[in-house]
Structure formats: C-alpha cells, structure tokens
Amino acid sequence: MPKSNSFKAGRHFLQIPGPTNLPDRVLRAMDRAVIDHRGPEFAEISKGVLEKLKSVFKTSSPVIMYPGSGTGAWESAIVNTLNVGDKVLFFETGEFSIRWYDQAKQLKIDAEIVPGDWRHGIDPKVVAERLAADKDKKIKAVCVLHNETSTGIVNNIGEIRKAIDSVNHPALYMVDVISSLASIDYRHEEWKVDVTVGGSQKGLLLPPGLSFNAISHKALEASKKATMPKHYWDWHAMLENNKTGFYPYTPATTLIYGLDEALDMLMEEGLDNVFSRHARLAEATRLAVKAWGLEILCKNPAEYSNTLTTVLLPEGYDADNLRKTILDEYNMALGASFNKVKGKVFRIGHLGDLNEIMLMGVLSGVEMGLTKAKVPFKAGGIMAALQYLSK
C-alpha cells in the first residue's frame, strides 16, 4: 500500500466538515481568464451573483461578499455595528464559538461567553433569562453559531429569536452560518437576524476565499453610528460600489465565476431538496455510528447536525491516530478535534457535493480504519446505513 510521496490511485476523499469536494461544474466555471473587474462584463456577472446570493440566505436585504475567510466576516459583523466597550453575549457550543468571542475581546468589546459542555446546544430559555436580567439594555448584541463545526451541534435560531423577542430586548442578533449555509434550512429575514456571517468553502460548493455578511435594516442603521475603526470591512464603501456591480478593491474574480455556477446548481436542485439530501445522508451516518456502538458527541437528537457528525472514541483510544490511519491507508481526510475534546473525537463531514454512493464510500473507509487502528466496535454500521439509504 503506498504511504506517502507516491501516486495513489482513485480520488482523495475530503470528508472534513469543510472545505468540501469541488463539483466539476464549479471547477470548469473557474477555469477561465480573469477579466477587468472594473469593466462591464464583470459588473453584469457580479450584479447577478449578488442578487442570487440573497436566496440562499433567504433575505431580500443586501448580502456583502468579501475576498476573505469566515474569520474576517466575523470581524466585519462586529466592527460595522458595535462600539469599543459594548457588551456582547456569546454562547459556548464548541471551538468556533470561543474563537469568535476571543476575536471580540481582542477588538475591545466587553464580551461574555455563557459556558457550555460541548454536548448541548444553546437553551433559548437561558438566552431569555440573560436578556431579561439586563434591565438597562446594556447588551448590544447576541452572537451565536447556527451549526457549531467543532462539535456537530445545531442551534435553534428561530427559537433563540423568539426568546430575544419574549423579553423585548433590542440587542442585535448575529448568526454564523459558515457550516450550515446551503445545507441546513436557514432564514435570515424570517428569523430577524441582523448580521448573518457565511463562508464559501462548505455548503456553497466553492474553494475557501469568499465570506459574507447578510445585513438587516436594523444592522445597517446601527452601522451608521458604529465608531470602531475599519477600512477593508467597511459596509458602506462596499454597498455603494456594489450598486453598480463593483467593489472598493480587487474582488476574487475567479471565485465569483465559481459562485455564479454553484448558485445555479443549488437552484437547479432546489434548496429544499438540498436540505433533505443533507438530512438523509446525516441520518445514514448516525445510524452507522450507533450500529458501530460508538457515541455521537451531541447528546440531544434535536440538535444533531446535518452537515457533520462528531464521533467519540472509547476511553483510551486516540482519534488522531485513527484519522492518520484512515488518511494513510485509504486516502480519506476526516475532521480534526480541538480543545476540550482534542484526541477524543473525530468528525465526519457529510456536506456539499455528496450523494449516497459517495457517503457509503466514506463510511466504509471509517469502518476499515476502525479495524486497522484496532478501535473496538461492532459490525453492522455499513449495513445500517445501506438499509436506510435503500428505503
């Protein structure tokens, strides 16, 4: 079996929870000469893409697109709407919620994070309690993740909205959809989210390199009074330029060609079908994990993620060693573990351009890897997934 620095037949399986497999149609769409980003042809493409993007966020308000990673779009949400010293509430659901909170602190926001155990999502009742206790309305924003990629936990964004409204709190509501966009149903406008933060490299079927802010009217009003220093992230320069299909600086032309194609593909499949495909593949994965006798990190089935499954290994077994075995032996990359669960879990990404047969390959690779790495498990996972998918 080839180990490294040598040809490996067949394709690499990229089953981390993003970046995801690139569809050939997107690759082909990007295989084009770069054109003048201040010329008429680019303006037409760009205006079309900015309009089509609204449908994946389910909004009629502007969506801004940065050449940048998701971390940048987090920063943009903060610096465009808040002031130094503002109180902002975060909720610990895993590594990425902590990173956003750390970023806010570095930006001199008075950030607080409500602790969590990494096995449960946010309880909307706690959100309501925390906001009800804020009699002077000092909290200026509530920042949460729709899908916590480090743990495979989905937060109920609609219910958290209701919790905020139930105590009539005026805080801005900011939601990270980096690992749920175009994979798990999300409704920026209906759930009255003020800033939605997205990225290109997961459900949106693109390489890394683009990130997004969907903006509500309330957020736009807040941005007019926000005094945090900003230049690259400034919404106003971007919105002004976007009116004519342009950008205040050089956009990622090639990625925008790809995005145009990816949005067409998502619309051809139909967003509801995209969501149900993800739900189906996720359920098959969970059935396999349970049949193997392994534990899913997320404890509450209502909070299971449809884009990834985080699997706990039995005490004393090293998840990083399992991932290494699977990469070396079967050429498949699975998601790493962080912080509180470092070495204890591995993550199976099942999002983006994926179908039943591809998923069965993924689960087979995991099962062969469990055997190779001598992790104790029960047979039957593959059959459980197969039976479910054949129904």
**Binding footprint of ligand PLP on the chain (CB under 6 A):** 18, 69-71, 96, 145, 149, 176, 178-179, 199, 208
Smaller CB distance to ligand PLP: residue 171 or 178?
A: 178
Smaller CB distance to ligand PLP: residue 98 or 281?
A: 98
The pair phi, psi for residue 71, each rounded to 5°, is: -60, -35
Smaller CB distance to ligand PLP: residue 18 or 251?
A: 18
Kindly state the DSSP code that residue 22 receives in the 8-state scheme.
P
Shortest Å distance, C-beta 102 to ligand PLP: 12
Distance CA 204, CA 199 (A): 8
Shortest Å distance, C-beta 178 to ligand PLP: 4
Shortest Å distance, C-beta 71 to ligand PLP: 3
Shortest Å distance, C-beta 197 to ligand PLP: 7
Shortest Å distance, C-beta 365 to ligand PLP: 22
Query: Using an 8 Å Cβ cutoff, are 37 and 246 in contact?
Result: yes
β-pair partners for 88: 111, 141
Smaller CB distance to ligand PLP: residue 64 or 373?
A: 64
Smaller CB distance to ligand PLP: residue 96 or 173?
A: 96
Shortest Å distance, C-beta 198 to ligand PLP: 9
Smaller CB distance to ligand PLP: residue 209 or 361?
A: 209
Shortest Å distance, C-beta 301 to ligand PLP: 21
96: left (phi over 0), alpha (psi -120 to 50) or beta: alpha
Smaller CB distance to ligand PLP: residue 238 or 308?
A: 308
Smaller CB distance to ligand PLP: residue 175 or 263?
A: 175
Shortest Å distance, C-beta 185 to ligand PLP: 16
Tokens of 114: 């409500």
Shortest Å distance, C-beta 143 to ligand PLP: 11
Smaller CB distance to ligand PLP: residue 307 or 325?
A: 307
Smaller CB distance to ligand PLP: residue 77 or 171?
A: 77
Position with the least CB separation from ligand PLP:
70
Overall residue count recorded for the chain in this entry: 391
The pair phi, psi for residue 87, each rounded to 5°, is: -85, 130
Which distant-in-sequence residues (6+ apart) come within 8 Å of 79 by Cβ? 107, 226, 228, 229, 230, 233
Shortest Å distance, C-beta 155 to ligand PLP: 11
